[in-house]
Structure 1
Amino acid sequence: MSHRTTSSVFGTLLGYAPGGVAAYSCDYESASDAQYPKRSAFRSYLDGIYMGYKWQCVEFARRWIYLNHGYIFDDISMAYDIFQLRSVRDVVTNSRLPLQAFANGSKSPPQPGSLLIWDQGGEFSETGHVAIVTEVFADKLRVAEQNLDHEIWPEGCNYSRELPATTTQEGEYWLQCSFNDATILGWMTQTDNSLYAQPTIATDKQLFALRSRYAKAQVDPQKSWLNVANEDEAAYVKAMHGDKLSAVSADQYRYYTLSETAQLTLQRATNELHGLFMHATDYVLENPALLDKFNLPRAILGKIRQSWDNRLNQLITSRFDFSMTPQGLKVYEYNCDSASCYMESAKIQGKWAHHYGVHEGQDSGKDLFNNLVNAWRKSQAKGLVHILHDCDPEEIYHALFIQQTLKSAGIASKMVSGISSLKWDPQGNILDVQGESIHWVWKTWSWETALDQIRSECEADQALGEHYEPAWERGQTPRLADILLHKNIMIFEPLWTLIPSNKAILPVLWSLFPNHPLLLQADFELNADLQASGYVTKPIVGRCGANIQLVDQDQDIIEATGGGFAAQEQIYQALFPLPLVDGYYVQVCTFTAAGKYAGSCLRVDASMIISKESDCMALRFVNDEALLSQQAVIN
């Protein structure tokens, strides 16, 4: 609006919307470091309910409808995703209320309190935008919002701006956007009346069914198809004892398919769940009683908080594990720390498909390598990155694959097998065998491996408090914990990934987002609901499917694994079995690069529990119509 001339600093009161709900400036560049010293200070809560980031458009919209109506919409990745929602949650009753979407030009005009939604693009390039409708006229509409221009609203107005509107003779209500390069999708209204609303198209459940397929037999099945001149591929061939994707000879021709709709669902779920896990991580770090349940050494809690405040956006790799069936999509857990299977997804399955002549659909990991390269380019790693790995064959090829992504990102790296060649220098820095200081590290070891080395000494010395620092002696070999917790060494993945990777996060998520469609009920204690549904016991810290027990509705153990994590505290999660497809239980995994969806893969096993020995198999995303027509022929 032309009469606005003054941009306000972050947090300035801009005005009050109907109901007395305040709107604030979201000019992040002017935010005070003293008032907002860490990232968690930017998170907005009301009555213990997370509203969003201060003072973004989504935060205002959620806070306004909560204060005025007592319900909230689900967490979304971007503001434009709100247009896909079809319900809101009444906070008091924990029930779902219908939310109708009306496209711009609908014969059902917006109402005061409707959510006005902009698509991504132009002025709202990546995020879209949301505003609250305050008044509706035949020729204009007024809205209240945050994170547009950071300017104080006109005096005496309970809205931020007006949008021109046109009502046609047919009764269509059209809004004109203030920006030539932005698009108004429409408005969302909480009502039972669906007349003129966007239809909720029921997705055929068969689009979420995994299917087993087979490539054509090869004339020369022993022919090599991986290039052993490449170090990572040579290491993979050595680990697998040949050019193969599956360790089972009978499965060399087998692959699986999912629909493009399933792919889009996995992408949206991954991005949304990453946000939920990050919110839960912040919530845990702000609640000492919850943090105690994660069984972390007290001496490193300060470092974890510092890592969270300083390195929230420094995640490179992470992996979600899902069960996808026609009955729904549910996440089991989030592997933020030292996630595996990247090379199998990004490189091996694509070469397998080329060799075996599989052209059906698209390779589920085709963009993963480039997404990782872009994540490294955006990271703070500017100098030499030391890649620390163990002598495990899988870790070796995984580390060599990551080295290729670093090389493509223009970042120099050096492989370090084990840590016996590393030494302390006189100043307390850690040097490699050539005498170069270590400042940036990517590792295959989990953080928990390092924590095991310091738990006993931290527990014995209560004076350490939350201020653990490695002890060092010139010329001596540092321990893994000394390297990973060194104040002058930046580790990928960051220390804060200990929180979302710990299974104790699962009950926290369920308490924060009860009945969320992507989550399984989880609790720190076994309760009647879990017993009635069947449940899974998991150690809060564990790897590769170790020490897991599946219990059915009759309280009979239907599957269990051993391992080295039996002494860990446990959580209980609702039983939602993997689909059994052509003799294998199949788990869908999605990868992130810098916290965003980057690709997918499959893990399969004759057991209901996926473990370190479970095979990876190729996954192809197939056009919906083609997949359904194949199914019709089969039937």
Structure 2
Amino acid sequence: MRRQASTRRDGWEKTVEEQGLAYHRSAHPVHLARPYWDEGVHYVFGMDEVLDLERQVEELHAMCLEAVEHVIASGRQGDFAIPAWARPEVEASWRRRDPHVFGRFDLRYDGRGPAKLLEYNADTPTSLVESSVVQWFWLKDVHPGDDQWNSIHERLVQRWRELPLQSGPAHFAWTNMDETGEEAMTLGYLQETAEQAGLVTAAVAMEDVGWDARALRFVDMENRVIRTLCKLYPWEWAVADPFGPRAVAQQVSMTWIEPLWKMLLSNKALLAVLWEMYPGHPNLLPAYLDGPRDLPAHIVKPLLGREGAGMRVVTPAGTQSTEGDYGAEGHVYQEFRELPDFDGWRPVLGAWVVGDEAAGLGIRETSGLITDDTSSFVPHRIA
């Protein structure tokens, strides 16, 4: 693994926008000189290195599924701040093995040792368009003879074909709260992969999903019953909304992507449970729910935090924190290891899982200790 300078393509801004990255300006803080999509640099991997990372990712995913079983069997959903009324339905969703499509691991990796799990974005993973599409076309334009860890698109199409979906259109729902356009473009891309798999689809805003009181079903603006709903609206938000009990009660009659049981994987309490189950595992960092214990350097993460908000890094040299409204739900205390330094920039590897298989890689860089919404996405290749 090495970081290498690149020459940006002429008119790259228009190119990436035409490929679906229409939000590369709006989703990035305007005061930053560095663009969100930065093809002025990229990372280079060896094939053996990527094959080994694929193995590690699939092992982590299998461990996470074992952790879901452990949490449910031992009655520990309360550690994940899941409301008591929703816990039986989370368990039922898992027992049915309600189908899942995709997720993204965030990993610390320096090219020398095992990757370390930082978190699992298993319910509402983003950076999908840039990982699957935009960096692939960059590779074809700039390094056509090289390869890339990227079978995301093909695996998504195949995964939609595998799902036992009910008849009728599959609905893809964004929320009007997203002013950047990232959520709409991500769901639009997912909808495209579903259509390539042969599904009939429809787009709808979450705010426009209605309730048919007679049929006791969710409907769209044309009063069509919604039988499959793919969303990026987090389950922890949904269960707290007025329609939450209805959504939870509809688990049997609808297919939700992602399913309700993914609440247990998208929650950072998972990190502590994994460390309990697999202490000393080379892909894990020590993590606890009751405090930092004997960790001299640790990071305090809200269980439901997003984009690096509300975190606190504590080291013998001092404390750094980020602003955010998360944390009322509780925290996890994870050993802190600085992200590796490549020319003053620190990458986080976003390793994608589709179904139960490793599918590709996206890389975000930051100059600080915490990867937040100021990070930039950079492409990669396999030499």
Greater RCO (CA < 8 Å, at least 6 residues apart): 2
Per-residue CA shift, 1:146-183, capped at 9, x if unaligned?
xxxxxxxxxxxxxxxxxxxxxxxxxxxxxxxxxxxxxx
Report the counterpart of residue 190 of structure 1 in structure 2.
none
1:262 and 2:49 are equivalent in the alignment: yes
Report the counterpart of residue 313 of structure 2 in structure 1.
550
Output the amino acid matched with 2:175.
D
Give the counterpart of 1:398 among 176, 186, 195. Answer: 186
Note closer, same or farther for the CA distance 1:282–1:360 as it changes in structure 2 (3 Å cut): same
Give the alignment's Cα RMSD to 1 decimal: 2.3
Cα distance, 1:586 vs structure 2: 0.3
Q: Report the Cα distance in structure 2 between the residues aligned to 1:368 and 1:222, rounded to whole angstroms.
A: 22
Give the counterpart of 1:369 among 139, 153, 159. Answer: 153
1:501 and 2:292 are equivalent in the alignment: no
Contact 1:535 1:573 in 2 (8 A): yes
Q: Report the Cα distance in structure 2 between the residues aligned to 1:295 and 1:321, rounded to whole angstroms.
A: 22
1:617 and 2:378 are equivalent in the alignment: yes
Cα distance, 1:480 vs structure 2: 5.9
Unaligned runs of 5+ in 1: 1-209, 455-478, 623-635
Structure (1 or 2) with the larger CA radius of gyration: 1
Please list, as runs of the form range in 1=range in 2, the aligned pairs for 1:464-613 lying within 5 A after superposition: 479=243, 482-483=246-247, 485-487=249-251, 488-531=253-296, 534-552=297-315, 554=316, 556-557=318-319, 559-613=320-374
Secondary structure of 1:328's partner?
coil
Secondary structure of 1:396's partner?
helix
Note closer, same or farther for the CA distance 1:616–1:300 as it changes in structure 2 (3 Å cut): same
Q: Report the Cα distance in structure 1 between the residues aligned to 2:259 and 2:118, rounded to whole angstroms.
A: 22
Note closer, same or farther for the CA distance 1:286–1:225 as it changes in structure 2 (3 Å cut): same
Q: Report the Cα distance in structure 1 between the residues aligned to 2:209 and 2:118, rounded to whole angstroms.
A: 38
Unaligned runs of 5+ in 2: none
Note closer, same or farther for the CA distance 1:238–1:337 as it changes in structure 2 (3 Å cut): closer
Per-residue CA shift, 1:303-355, capped at 9, x if unaligned?
1011001125x110111110002243211111110111111111011122334
Output the amino acid matched with 1:267.
E
Cα distance, 1:227 vs structure 2: 7.3
Cα distance, 1:261 vs structure 2: 2.3
Please list, as runs of the form range in 1=range in 2, the aligned pairs for 1:266-345 lying within 5 A after superposition: 266-288=53-75, 290-311=76-97, 314-325=99-110, 326-345=112-131
Q: Report the Cα distance in structure 2 between the residues aligned to 1:363 and 1:396, rounded to whole angstroms.
A: 26
Note closer, same or farther for the CA distance 1:481–1:394 as it changes in structure 2 (3 Å cut): farther
Secondary structure of 2:239's partner?
helix
Please list, as runs of the form range in 1=range in 2, the aligned pairs for 1:31-50 lying within 5 A after superposition: none
Using structure 1 for the length normalisation, give the TM-score: 0.56
1:380 and 2:127 are equivalent in the alignment: no
Give the counterpart of 1:449 among 216, 226, 237. Answer: 237
Output the amino acid matched with 1:517.
P
Q: Report the Cα distance in structure 1 between the residues aligned to 2:300 and 2:56, rounded to whole angstroms.
A: 24
Output the amino acid matched with 1:593.
V
Q: Report the Cα distance in structure 2 between the residues aligned to 1:568 and 1:247, rounded to whole angstroms.
A: 35
Please list, as runs of the form range in 1=range in 2, the aligned pairs for 1:62-101 lying within 5 A after superposition: none
Secondary structure of 2:261's partner?
helix
Output the amino acid matched with 2:272.
P
Note closer, same or farther for the CA distance 1:621–1:382 as it changes in structure 2 (3 Å cut): farther
Cα distance, 1:604 vs structure 2: 0.9
Please list, as runs of the form range in 1=range in 2, the aligned pairs for 1:131-146 lying within 5 A after superposition: none
More divergent stretch after superposition (421-430 vs 374-383): 421-430
Q: Report the Cα distance in structure 2 between the residues aligned to 1:217 and 1:565, rounded to whole angstroms.
A: 38
Q: Report the Cα distance in structure 2 between the residues aligned to 1:502 and 1:421, rounded to whole angstroms.
A: 26
Contact 2:159 2:354 in 1 (8 A): yes
Cα distance, 1:389 vs structure 2: 0.7
Cα distance, 1:302 vs structure 2: 1.0
Q: Report the Cα distance in structure 1 between the residues aligned to 2:145 and 2:245, rounded to whole angstroms.
A: 47
1:435 and 2:223 are equivalent in the alignment: yes
Cα distance, 1:358 vs structure 2: 2.7
Note closer, same or farther for the CA distance 1:241–1:540 as it changes in structure 2 (3 Å cut): closer
Contact 1:504 1:540 in 2 (8 A): yes
Percent identical across equivalent pairs? Answer: 24
Using structure 2 for the length normalisation, give the TM-score: 0.90
Q: Report the Cα distance in structure 2 between the residues aligned to 1:483 and 1:348, rounded to whole angstroms.
A: 34
Cα distance, 1:619 vs structure 2: 1.4
Contact 1:483 1:489 in 2 (8 A): no
Report the counterpart of residue 81 of structure 1 in structure 2.
none
Contact 1:419 1:480 in 2 (8 A): no
Cα distance, 1:614 vs structure 2: 2.0
Q: Report the Cα distance in structure 2 between the residues aligned to 1:215 and 1:484, rounded to whole angstroms.
A: 48
Output the amino acid matched with 1:486.
Q
Contact 1:240 1:247 in 2 (8 A): no
Output the amino acid matched with 2:138.
W
